[in-house]
């Protein structure tokens, strides 16, 4: 391959066949980088919302052709089964609430794909996530978006930690699902569209004549068919057990068909016989087959245990912001780390609803760093001091 301008990098762009990653590839190509697109085939089973159907691969290939870049397909289906699908099923069996997108990012996009990119001689990997890379050092911030590859490499040389920052389009922000990235990963990552709103991304795609310009956003879990849903998917793989619904006094108020499909905090889909008051799942006892429902305030806790804690740079105990679901509001608290650095406890400033075990919790900085991811972990079932 030929050497280009000094700032030119060899970038592997993960192209799902959607509009965001198509425009990500377009921006990098416009900037003169040597860009190769890759679509990961992750799931061989029946699905309609996934990123690896033949038609999605076709869309990614057509977008790459329009941009004049090479396009390849990598088959990571075995790794995806082992690291994403099997744990997803097992978590449900254990009564946990997994986030398969986080697992996929952790094991597939930012591990398997990064190692592949390294072996094939790429300097950087780009994705179409709505998030920004920010050099977070010594009071100075350098936002890397449009020219991400150059700026982040410069930040890396300057020694400032690179952070995932919230996207320009707050409604589409995906920084939450990137909370597990380390400095080693962040220094090799480019997020070209994080500085654009979704409308701007679509406008760029339309201006470039990309087939993906008007494609709807992907929804839900990519390997589960939306027609048959989670119940069928899990029911084909693990036994589903019925459970009794009781209120906080122990009075039976209904039934659920499959306790494995119930999540802490869930309100919809509970057959409570026309009860006017809003009820939430506040506790699940799988062994006894009992799901307890209560009022919203019955979910409130003063503390939340977190395990599997990782930091993008150095541990930052103390006041932080915490986001507990993909589109949830950040909540303020103080993080306490014990002897085991992988476990921590959040002391909430105000009592907060219990987080379903297995859900990802992303940590954001305090004060003027509230838009920067500093770490994250998984909500644990562990000791939780009651708020009332």
Partner 1 sequence: MVHYLDNAATTPVRPSAVNVMLPLLTETYGNPSGAHRMARDANRVLDDARATMAEALGAQPGQIVFTGGGTEADALAVRGTVAARGGIPVCSAIEHHAVLDPVHHLGGRVVAVGPDGRLDLAALEEALDPSVSLVSVMLANNETGIIQPIAEAVEIVRRKAPGALFHTDAVQALCWVDVAEAAAAADLVSVSAHKFGGPKGVGVLVVRDGADPEPLLLGGGQERARRGGTQNVAGIAAMAVAAAETVAERPAALPRVAALRDRLADGIRAALPGVVETGVVGDGGPGAGRRHKTANICHLCFEGIESEALLFLLEKEDIMASAASSCASGAIDPSHVLLAMGFERDLAFGSLRLSLGYGTTEADVSAALAVVPAAVTRLRERGS
Q: Catalogue the active-site residues.
A: 104, 222
Q: How far is the CB of 111 from partner 1 (least distance, A)?
A: 11
Each residue of 279-306: b (16+ CB within 10 Å) or e?
Answer: bbbbebeeeeebbbbbeeebbbbbbbbb
Which residue, 41 or 279, has its beta carbon nearer to partner 1?
Answer: 41
Which CB atom, from 73 or from 261, has the smaller least distance to partner 1? 73
CB-side neighbour CA atoms (13 Å) of 131: 23
Closer CB to partner 1, 121 or 239, in the complex: 121
Q: How far is the CB of 25 from partner 1 (least distance, A)?
A: 17
Q: How many helices (H) and strands (E) does the chain have?
A: 10, 18
Q: Are 212 and 205 in contact (CB under 8 A)?
A: yes
Q: Which two tokens stand for residue 164?
A: 């995932």
Q: Where along the sequence are the contacts to partner 1 (CB under 8 A)?
A: 1, 39, 41, 52-54, 57, 61, 72-75, 77-78, 115-116, 118-121
CB of 118 to partner 1, least distance (A): 6
Of 115 and 278, nearer to partner 1 (C-beta) is: 115
Q: Judged by CB, which is closer to partner 1: 72, or 225?
A: 72
Residues in the chain, overall count: 388
Distance in angstroms (rounded) separating the CA atoms of residues 294 and 91: 24
User: Cβ of residue 141: shortest distance to partner 1, in angstroms?
Assistant: 34
Q: DSSP class of residue 6?
A: T
Smallest distance, partner 1 to C-beta of residue 81, A? 12
The three state secondary structure string of 243-294 is EEEECCCCCEEEEECCHHHCCCCCCCCCCCCCCCCCCEEEEEECCCCEEEEE
Q: How many other β-carbons are positioned within 10 Å of the β-carbon of residue 315?
A: 15
């Amino acid at each position: 391959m030929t050497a280009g301008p000094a700032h030119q990098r060899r970038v592997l762009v993960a192209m799902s066949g959607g509009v965001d990653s198509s425009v990500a590839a377009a921006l990098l190509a416009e900037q003169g980088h040597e860009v190769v697109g890759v679509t990961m085939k992750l799931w061989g089973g029946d699905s309609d919302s996934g990123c690896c159907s033949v038609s999605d691969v076709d869309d990614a290939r057509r977008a790459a052709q329009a941009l004049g870049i090479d396009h390849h397909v990598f088959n990571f289906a075995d790794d995806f089964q082992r690291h994403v699908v099997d744990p997803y099923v097992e978590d449900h069996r254990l009564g946990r609430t997994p986030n398969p997108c986080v697992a996929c990012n952790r094991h597939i996009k930012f591990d398997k794909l990064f190692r592949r990119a390294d072996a094939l001689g790429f300097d950087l990997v780009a994705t179409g996530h709505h998030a920004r890379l920010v050099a977070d050092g010594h009071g100075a911030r350098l936002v890397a978006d449009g020219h991400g590859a150059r700026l982040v490499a410069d930040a890396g040389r300057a020694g400032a930690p690179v952070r995932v920052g919230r996207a320009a389009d707050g409604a589409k922000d995906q920084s939450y699902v990137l909370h597990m990235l380390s400095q080693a990963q962040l220094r090799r990552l480019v997020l070209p569209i994080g500085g654009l709103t979704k409308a701007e991304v679509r406008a760029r795609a339309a201006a470039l004549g990309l087939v993906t310009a008007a494609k709807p956003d992907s929804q839900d879990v990519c390997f589960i068919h939306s027609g048959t849903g989670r119940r069928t998917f899990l029911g084909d793989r693990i036994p589903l057990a019925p459970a009794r619904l009781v209120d906080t006094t122990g009075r039976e108020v209904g039934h659920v068909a499959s306790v494995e499909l119930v999540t802490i905090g869930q309100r919809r889909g509970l057959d409570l016989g026309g009860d006017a008051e809003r009820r939430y799942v506040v506790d699940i006892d799988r062994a006894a087959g009992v799901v307890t429902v209560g009022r919203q305030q019955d979910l409130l806790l003063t503390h939340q245990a977190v395990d599997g804690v990782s930091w993008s740079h150095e541990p930052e105990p103390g006041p932080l912001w915490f986001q507990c679901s993909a589109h949830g509001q950040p909540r303020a608290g103080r993080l306490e780390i014990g002897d085991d650095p992988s476990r921590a406890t959040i002391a909430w400033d105000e009592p907060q609803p219990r987080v379903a075990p297995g859900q990802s919790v992303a940590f954001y900085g305090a004060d003027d760093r509230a838009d920067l991811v500093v770490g994250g972990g998984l909500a644990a079932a562990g000791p939780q001091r009651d708020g009332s």
